[in-house]
Structure 1
Amino acid sequence: MESTRVDRWLWAVRMTKTRSDAAAACRGGHVRVNDRPAKAATSVSAGDEVRLRAHGLTKVVEVTRVIQKRVGAPEAAMCFIDRTPKPPPEALMPVARRDRGAGRPTKRDRRVLDKFRNNE
């Protein structure tokens, strides 16, 4: 059975931009293989579950094919099955934000905020 390092696989299937980014994610505790914290040298093989937390999102994928070299995006997408759960509907709603130091909201700003809050 074929296996490779998790940092190399994450880079090869384009889940991280560079291999050093994948290794840094492993060092930071953002990568888990089969629900165990993974170091960069942890082996992955077909059938393993890999969790990667990057950019505020957690991706859960199942390894279907092990590759050593970086390949094109369509071919890389065939190397894993995305099992990431759908985000809750509340997470999809935009959040009203004001620039820091913008002062008190104007009457028009308050009307827009009230309209936004009442349409939930």
Structure 2
Amino acid sequence: MIEKQRIDKWLWCARVVKSRSLAARLVCDGHVRLNARRIETAAKPVHPGDILTIALDHQVRVLKVVTSASRRAAFPEAQSLFEDLTFAPSPET
């Protein structure tokens, strides 16, 4: 069975944003890409293996969806929903 979940709910469950309404606004404002394609619908489903590129404040996060969640949990459990692929710049010496 393929696991899928609305992108706004997944972003909230993964603790990328503080509320589901903020997640929906982030998506609708065009700050989220799903597999390199800009999306503007908060109801768009995400599946394991999908790559999300999210523009938050002054940073861009790249997350690979590992699984969906039935509820929002504590931060350590929320981290298990994704693999963080964000490029971390090396410290300048």
- TM-score normalised according to structure 2 size: 0.90
Determine which structure has the larger helix proportion and give its number.
1
**Radius of gyration: which is bigger?**
1
- Tell me the residue number matched to 2:84: 82
One-letter identity of the residue aligned with 1:74: P
Aligned to 1:12: 13
Q: Once the two structures are superposed, what CA deviation does each residue of 1:56-109 show, in whole Å capped at 9, x if it has no partner?
A: 11000000111131111000001100000113657xxxxxxxxxxxxxxxxxxx
Higher relative contact order (CA 8 A, sep 6+): 2
Cα distance in 1 for partners of 2:70, 2:50 equals 16
Higher mean displacement: 4-13 or 32-41: 32-41
Give secondary structure in 2 for the equivalent of 1:78. Answer: helix
4+ runs deviating over 6 angstroms? none
Q: Any gaps of 5 or more consecutive residues in structure 2?
A: none
Aligned Cα root-mean-square deviation (Å):
1.5
In the TM superposition, 1:7-86 aligns within 5 A as: 7-38=8-39, 39-86=41-88
What stretches of structure 1 of length at least 5 have no aligned partner?
91-119
The alignment of Structure 1 onto Structure 2 pairs a total of residues equal to: 91
Contact 1:8-1:68 at 8 Å conserved across structures: no
Identity of aligned residues (%): 38
